Amino acid sequence: MRILGDRLQPLMAAVDTALSEHTLRAIITGVPSLLRHPIWRTTDPDQGNGQGVVLVPGFGVGEYSLALTASWLRARGYKPIGARIGFNVGCTTTLVNRILQRITEHADATGGPVVLIGQSRGGYLARLAAVRTPEMVRGLVMLGSPVLDPLGASPSVLKVARSLARLSTYGVPGLLDQDCFEGDCYRESVEALTIPLPPNVPAVAVYSRLDRIAPWQLCRDPYARCVEVRSTHTGMAFDPDVYTAIEPRLRRWARRRDTGRAREAVRVAETAEIPETVEAMIPRQRAS
């Protein structure tokens, strides 16, 4: 245990340096600007119409990193929930399976397909899940997600990830392992990320040339609408321009929820009204 503790100490220091400082800086500089912006202050409680949303955080950060996003969505009538993948430091295959479970649960709870919003690694995990179950996904938002190369992140973040993989060999559960870097898990994930998104899953990929964590070139998904903003990597969840970019798309997707309900209602009504035989259309005479 002491040996393991000695190994954990420098790893945690690396995590603090590579991730926590970026997040803290983004919060300090971004949150006040967001809270003053009209995109935050102007609300329409009916906009979301109860549309379910699953939020997938980035690598090394928990659901708190998307807490403001969840608040913004709730104020507009959406129903956001977290993906429940902890700090997003586990095996890709395992995490995607957890996200799929959350998608199914939330789709059942809200009565229809859900929207996926993922940041950084969370974005490409959400994309992998969307390809697996497109019938349960109404739309996909990827914020600074290196879908063209999952291992193309900055060296500091990649160093943390590889350190986690080394720790997993010592029996620490719930972490990335070497298979996620060069084994079947990695190859299958990379191959799945090249699969075109289904036509019924509209997607938007938000990227920034100021991103120092995920190179912007790797975040331009060829099967999504790509939108450029001037933001830092971790600052995207606090950037008014990001919310301005995704708001009209979320609004459109929420309207599709009404369309789906109307079509189902018409189908049920038509099925109930269609007689099984021609004779059923002729009123029967009462027996005298």
Cα dist from 1 to 5, 9, 74, 234, whole Å: 6, 12, 44, 33
pLDDT reported for residue 261: 58
pLDDT reported for residue 28: 67
Give the range among 43-57, 72-86, 88-102, 256-270 with minimum mean pLDDT.
256-270
* Residue 136: pLDDT over 60: yes
Q: Tens digit of pLDDT for each residue in 69-96?
A: 999 999 999 999 999 999 999 999 999 9
pLDDT reported for residue 198: 95
pLDDT reported for residue 23: 61
Segment 106-127 shows an average pLDDT of 98
Segment 126-147 shows an average pLDDT of 98
Segment 200-216 shows an average pLDDT of 96
Per-residue confidence band for 159, with pLDDT thresholds at 50, 70 and 90? confident
Three-state secondary structure call for residue 54: strand
The owner of tokens 């007689």 is: 275
Per-residue confidence band for 1, with pLDDT thresholds at 50, 70 and 90? very low
pLDDT reported for residue 163: 81
Percentage above 90 pLDDT, the chain: 61
Q: Which residues contact 228 (CB under 8 A, 6 or more apart)?
A: 206, 207, 208, 209, 216
Q: Please give the Cα distance from 56 to 84 (Å, whole number).
A: 8
Q: What DSSP letter does each residue of 73-115 carry, written as one string? A: HHTTT-EEEE---TTS-S-HHHHHHHHHHHHHHHHHHHTS-EE
**21 or 218, greater pLDDT:** 218
**74 or 170, greater pLDDT:** 74
Segment 95-104 shows an average pLDDT of 98
**Could you confirm whether domain 2-272 is CATH 3.40.50.1820?**
yes
15-29, 154-168, 220-234, range with greatest mean pLDDT: 220-234
Segment 176-183 shows an average pLDDT of 84
Three-state secondary structure call for residue 50: coil
* Residue 272: pLDDT over 60: no
Domain ranges for the chain: 2-272
